[in-house]
Amino acid sequence: MLISSVSILFQALLLLPLVHAYGHANACRSYCGNLTIDHPFALQSGCGHPGFRDLLFCINDVLMFHISSGSYRVLDIDYAYQSLTLHEPHLSNCDTLVLGNRGNGFVVEPWRSPYLNPAADNVFMLIGCSAESSLFQGFPGKHLPCRNVSGMGCEDYYGCQAWTGLGFSRLGSGYRSGPPECCSVPFEAIKAVNLTKLGCQGYSSAYSLAPLRVTGPDEWSYGIRVKFSVEVNRESYCKACEATGGSCGYDIDGLTGLCMCGSWNSTSNCDSAQSSSSYSCRGTSSLLYTLAAGFFFCMMVWMKSR
């Protein structure tokens, strides 16, 4: 009886530092609506990867993504597949064409582009582009960049009800009377979807949820699928930081990695000897050690008591 109370008390004492240690873990993780914001993204500056700084903003539980071409709503962040799904109100879909050059398109700052790019299976469909557009340089030659991406393209998109009754020629694919009303391209082919620069009235964007093959354009997923990535060595640095209970971030200069260990910042991880204080951040390995030590101690008390 006494022994078991002692052991419970002991376990409670042992748990105290653990709670303390884990209170600091993931200081950079946050939530916006039902989306989890975790490394390499962050809402606070200093957290996450510098390539994604000043990128995400949580406004009334709606996560917004901001780049030089404008703001987009984030519908999903897939950390396993390393992708973001974005949407904006001026993106045409199967029901509605939004014309008048009101859409954002997609232009990312050059310094961010190593970390952020529309997915290779995302199709951009540029609508109502002028004959002078750089897209059609060489017209009427056969070197138009327009093509299908992941089985999606304008030929099928013309089948959407958004096109009916608009006076657009659905024979665009013939290229006889002028450039097509719609030209579908992968992002890689044009590197920036700037409607003004391309001389286009509007755009749509769709992505495929591989390996699902959908039949018609009314079943495509409309939105912009963006892949994100960080350098391999940075990734292992952050894994080591997080494994020791830290949160991965960066220094104000934006160049040096920082592992935030609650009461102190480390340039390596929270297990490093650089620690001036407290066990609170030594993370998993000391945690296991404490647990093991506690277990053995209780075992000994229990065995002695028999």
User: Does 25 help bind ligand NAG (rule: CB under 6 A)?
Assistant: no
User: Does 69 help bind ligand NAG (rule: CB under 6 A)?
Assistant: yes
Q: In whole angstroms, give the CA distance from residue 208 to residue 72.
A: 19
Least spacing, CB of residue 155 vs ligand NAG, in Å: 4
Query: If you count them, how many residues does the chain have?
Result: 306
Least spacing, CB of residue 167 vs ligand NAG, in Å: 23
34-53 mask for ligand NAG (x: CB under 6 A)?
x-----------x-------
By 3-state DSSP, what share of the chain in percent is helix, strand and coil, each rounded to 5? 25, 25, 50
Least spacing, CB of residue 258 vs ligand NAG, in Å: 5
Chain centroid to CA 186: how far?
19
- Choosing from 26, 133, 148, 272, the residue that interacts with ligand NAG (CB under 6 A) is 148
State the DSSP code for 219. Answer: S
User: Does 150 help bind ligand NAG (rule: CB under 6 A)?
Assistant: no
Total number of residues binding ligand NAG (CB under 6 A)?
A: 20
Q: How far apart are the first and last CA of the chain?
A: 12
User: Does 68 help bind ligand NAG (rule: CB under 6 A)?
Assistant: yes
Our CB check for ligand NAG shows the closer of 97 and 199 to be 199
Phi, psi of 234 (to 5 degrees): -65, -40
259-288 mask for ligand NAG (x: CB under 6 A)?
-x---xx-----------------------
- Choosing from 48, 50, 118, 153, the residue that interacts with ligand NAG (CB under 6 A) is 153
Residue 37 near residue 30, CB atoms below 8 Å: yes
**Which residues 198-257 are close enough to bind ligand NAG by CB under 6 A?**
249, 251-252
Our CB check for ligand NAG shows the closer of 230 and 298 to be 230
User: Does 194 help bind ligand NAG (rule: CB under 6 A)?
Assistant: yes
User: Does 191 help bind ligand NAG (rule: CB under 6 A)?
Assistant: no
Structure tokens, 17:
């530092």
User: Does 30 help bind ligand NAG (rule: CB under 6 A)?
Assistant: no
Which residues of the chain form contacts with ligand NAG (CB under 6 A)?
Answer: 34, 46, 68-69, 107, 147-148, 153, 155-156, 194, 196-197, 249, 251-252, 258, 260, 264-265
